[in-house]
Amino acid sequence: MNSPTNTQLLSDLRKLLSESRQQLQQTVNTTMVQTYWQVGRLIVEDEQKGESRASYGKQVLQQLSKTLTTEFGKGFDASNLRNMRRFYLAFPIQETVSLKLSWSHYNQLARIENDQARQWYMKEAVEQNWSVRALDRQIGVLYYERLLSSQDGTSVKQEAGEKTHSLVSNQEDYLRDPYILDFLNLPSQDVLESNIEQGIISNLQTFLLELGKGFAFVERQQRIIVDEQDFYLDLLFYNFKLKCFLLIDLKIGKLSHQDIGQMDTYVRIYDQHKKDSTDNPTIGLILCSKKSEALAKYSVLTDSKQLFASKYLPYLPTEEELRKELERERNLLTGLAAT
């Protein structure tokens, strides 16, 4: 396989497959952005007579979403229909919508109230090839506003370049984008079952259910909508003995402080918006699976730590037990386990 002929053949095949995937990605992205813009236009023009009315309530969108989700999947729920409506209102001239950006980009951009800032961020995202995470970061740190207020902007631009350098997108991010899966009406567990991460999640789901400690599976990739922001959980369980939710997030790669903070946010959101008054405080679980090691870490808000230690721990697998299970699962899935 190492002959010059085979090496050239392999190189040609890699190039062909890579380019084909990129073309497919661009085709899906273009269709998705154009379709959602048109959906937003139809909603605004037909239901609002072309006027931006705050009185446009939830009832119409709920009725639309009920029918559309039945026929076309959960990508057309009321929340996403609101996103499409906002997209059209933010970019009413279709020719100004760059097809080099994804729907996830525009979902961020449409939330910017300042028209000039919105157009500037769109232009920069295209020219700088920002990923969705990079765009989100720049909006969050008020990059545009800081440039306007700075003397020459050099230091601000330098910082932006350094901070966004690691926030590049890749093929895996695209394949895991819930918006893409929703648009194509493809259930994520079927699409990504061959992926190591999804395989680990599947095995972990079975592991917790077989513990016999009161765990009940609720959902994978559950979307949480708070203040029109979308959050996704890898796994959601409910423990009937503890009367609390368990949120699980799996990371493939190195665990960061940002990951821990994100889980704390998920727990806080669930406590505030999802759990019932009779439920105990929510707990989070971050799982990190790398080739060299595995890590498991529970996430509990400060005011719940005493309850966690005294009441929760007897019904939960220890972090060490979870770490060993993660390693075992990864070895099995990558074919490294001993036969």
For the residues 61-86, what does the mean pLDDT come to? 89
- Taking the domains of the chain in order of start, what are their residue ranges? 4-178, 187-333
User: 3 CB contacts (<8 Å, ≥6 apart)?
Assistant: none
**Radius of gyration of the chain measured on its C-alpha atoms:** 23
The pLDDT > 90 percentage for the chain reads 22
Residue 268 pLDDT > 50: yes
Residue 215 pLDDT > 80: yes
For the residues 136-159, what does the mean pLDDT come to? 76
pLDDT of residue 67: 92
84 alpha carbon, distance to own chain's centre: 18
What φ, ψ does residue 275 adopt, rounded to 5°? -75, 150
The pLDDT > 70 percentage for the chain reads 78
For 156-165, 211-220, 271-280, which range has the lowest pLDDT when averaged over its residues?
156-165
Question: 57 pLDDT band (50/70/90 cuts)?
Answer: low
Give long-range contacts, CB 8 A cutoff, 24+ apart: 316-324.
316/213, 316/283, 317/207, 317/208, 317/211, 320/296, 322/285, 322/287, 322/296, 323/294, 323/295, 323/296, 324/294
Helix, strand, coil percentages, rounded to 5, for the chain? 60, 15, 25
Residue 82 pLDDT > 50: yes
Q: Please state at what angle helix 78-90 crosses helix 58-72, rounded to 10 degrees.
A: 110
For 107-111, 158-162, 204-208, 285-289, which range has the lowest pLDDT when averaged over its residues?
158-162
Residue 253 pLDDT > 80: no
CATH number attached to the domain at 187-333:
3.40.1350
For the residues 238-259, what does the mean pLDDT come to? 84
pLDDT of residue 194: 44
Q: Please state at what angle helix 132-140 crosses helix 154-164, rounded to 10 degrees.
A: 140
Q: pTM for this one?
A: 0.55
pLDDT of residue 338: 37
Cα separation, 122 vs 141, whole angstroms: 16
Burial class (CB in 10 A: 0-12, 13-18, 19+), 201: buried
Q: Select from 125, 118, 126, 103 the least CA-distant residue to 230.
A: 103
Interval 292-302: pLDDT, tens = 567 888 888 77
Interval 23-48: pLDDT, tens = 888 888 899 999 999 999 999 887 76
For the residues 127-145, what does the mean pLDDT come to? 85
User: 308 CB contacts (<8 Å, ≥6 apart)?
Assistant: 281, 283, 298, 300
Q: Centre a 10 Å sphere on the Cβ of residue 188 and count the other Cβ atoms it contains.
A: 20
Question: 193 pLDDT band (50/70/90 cuts)?
Answer: very low
Characterise 221 by phi-psi region: left (phi > 0), alpha (psi -120 to 50), beta (else).
left
Q: What angle do CA 174, 180, 184 make, to 5 degrees?
A: 135
Q: Select from 321, 326, 312 the least CA-distant residue to 246.
A: 312
For the residues 211-216, what does the mean pLDDT come to? 88
Question: 5 pLDDT band (50/70/90 cuts)?
Answer: low
pLDDT of residue 52: 54
For the residues 275-280, what does the mean pLDDT come to? 88
Residue 339 pLDDT > 50: no
Residue 243 pLDDT > 80: yes
pLDDT of residue 167: 60
For the residues 277-291, what does the mean pLDDT come to? 84
Question: 89 pLDDT band (50/70/90 cuts)?
Answer: very high
User: 194 CB contacts (<8 Å, ≥6 apart)?
Assistant: none
pLDDT of residue 53: 58
3-state secondary structure of 278: coil
